[in-house]
Amino acid sequence: MEKRADGFLINKGEQEKDFIFGTRAVMEAIVAHKEIDKILIDKEVNNELVKELLKLAKDEKIPVVRVPDAKLNRITRKNHQGVVAHMSSIEYASLDNVIEECFSKGIAPLILVLDRITDVRNFGAIARTADCAGVHAIVIPEKGAAQINSDAVKTSAGALNHLPICRVKNLYYTVKDLKKMGLHVISVSEKTERLMYEADFSIPTALILGSEEDGISPELTGLSDEFVKIPMSGNIGSLNVSVSAGVVIYEAIRQRSK
């Protein structure tokens, strides 16, 4: 965080191109089909224009979060009218289209599902590795995921401009759909004795990685076909999630390159 001249704290690196503010400006962006990560609305504001904005956001399936006015003021001190929209730096892809294209080309899809990974730099690093390795898509939830802003694109070394990112409303139902489409769901977890080398990544695979705080959520754990772990022999028992992603992704690529 850094302090601005007016005394307010702002995320270092957050730029105005990453957000727009004002009720009508945000509504115009929605109508113009701009890619919006989420909309923050002052929880005390509920006028007719905001109600219209809420309907637009619902129709376009854009996440809306009600927040205190102080949170909006930390983003900008300009006349935001109680509305700030975080813009996405990329265009989202259709997961169904990605899967269909893989199967039509005779390729076994390798899909990375990120469960509540909110750190922008971790997300960018994962995307960079995924693109280099040839992962076919990354799946993230509408809520509880890292914001895809200029920092994320920079950390990914531009990979986010090329790798399909699929934003879905609910990871649980999405993973269920992936299973119906024939993908084998493998979760990376420390709570198993099965090493990653024992899994078969050559088949159509959805690979799940969870948050560093509490791992993969129980509902996704329940959908997993198997669990694997990265072997550890040092004094520290875990890896950063972006490093873990790289290790498991390249084990999958090693198997697929045989």
Please report the domains of the chain, with CATH numbers, ordered by start residue. 2-87 (3.30.1330.30), 95-256 (3.40.1280.10)
Over the stretch 198-235, which tens digit does the pLDDT of each residue have? 999 999 999 999 988 888 999 999 999 999 999 988 77
| pLDDT score for 40 | 95
Stretches where the chain sits below pLDDT 50 are 1-14
Over the stretch 87-103, which tens digit does the pLDDT of each residue have? 887 888 999 999 999 99
| pLDDT score for 17 | 57
| pLDDT score for 10 | 36
| pLDDT score for 52 | 94
pTM for this structure?
0.78
Whether the Cβ atoms of residue 49 and residue 23 lie closer than 8 Å to each other: yes
Whether the Cβ atoms of residue 147 and residue 120 lie closer than 8 Å to each other: yes
